[in-house]
């Protein structure tokens, strides 16, 4: 009886997460916060965002989290991404040293870092599509 109640509650929680953008945004934020704390506590030179990406990938891999539990929240973050970068533009314009060698060095670091993030994201997206396809094939067989 307890197992049945637990299973029913688990399904209800999953359905709620699949439909609620606010809960998904909160989940992504909590996962980022946990990853940031891991980065700070271990003093690793890896940003919390990268650790969070690995954490989400592990949760997806071990089926502790489904892609549908993050999709709406991730779509919102992507749609509003420009708002997160606008404050950086006036800060750059206030520092003329960014328009010399220092700026070129920083630009190179940004380009390399962006490429690493793009490649890592591509791997995670490819893995996610593989898991979705595998999941849909198993559902079709049943």
Dump pLDDT digits (tens) for 52-110: 889 988 988 888 888 888 888 888 888 887 776 666 667 667 777 777 888 888 889 98
Q: Are residues 4 and 27 in the same domain?
A: yes
The residue behind tokens 């094939």 is: 137
Looking at residue 34, its pLDDT comes to 93
Looking at residue 18, its pLDDT comes to 80
Query: Where among 86, 107, 130 does a domain terminate?
Result: 86
Q: Are residues 102 and 115 in the same domain?
A: yes
24 touches 74 (CB < 8 A): yes
In the predicted structure, residue 45 carries a pLDDT above the cut 90: no
Per residue in 118-132, pLDDT (tens digit) is 998 899 889 888 888
- The C-alpha atoms of residue 108 and residue 137 are separated, in whole angstroms, by 43
Higher-confidence residue of 97 and 32: namely: 32
**Burial annotation 52-64 (CB, 10 A radius, 16+ → b, else e):** bbebbbeebeeee
**54: CB partners within 8 A, 6+ apart:** 35
In the predicted structure, residue 36 carries a pLDDT above the cut 70: yes
Query: Where among 86, 103, 122 does a domain terminate?
Result: 86
Predicted TM-score (pTM) above 0.75: no
Q: Give the rounded distance of the alpha carbon of 17 from its chain centre.
A: 16
**How many domains does one find in the chain?**
2
Q: Are residues 26 and 74 in the same domain?
A: yes
**R_g (Cα) of the chain, nearest Å:** 19
Predicted confidence band at 17 (pLDDT cuts at 50, 70, 90)? Answer: confident
Which domain covers residue 66, as residue numbers? 1-86
């Amino acid at each position: 009886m307890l197992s049945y109640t637990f299973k029913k509650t688990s399904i209800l929680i999953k359905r709620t997460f699949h439909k609620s953008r606010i809960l998904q945004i909160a989940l992504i934020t909590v996962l980022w916060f946990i990853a940031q704390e891991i980065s700070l506590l271990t003093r690793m030179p890896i940003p919390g965002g990268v650790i969070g990406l690995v954490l989400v990938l592990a949760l997806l891999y071990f089926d502790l989290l489904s892609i549908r539990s993050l999709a709406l929240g991730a779509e919102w973050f992507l749609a509003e991404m420009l708002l997160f970068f606008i404050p950086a533009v006036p800060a750059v314009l206030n520092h003329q040293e960014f328009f010399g060698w220092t700026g070129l060095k920083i630009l190179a670091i940004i380009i390399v870092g962006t490429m690493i993030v793009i490649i890592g994201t591509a791997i995670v997206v490819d893995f996610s599509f593989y898991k979705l396809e595998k999941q849909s094939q198993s559902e079709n067989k049943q």
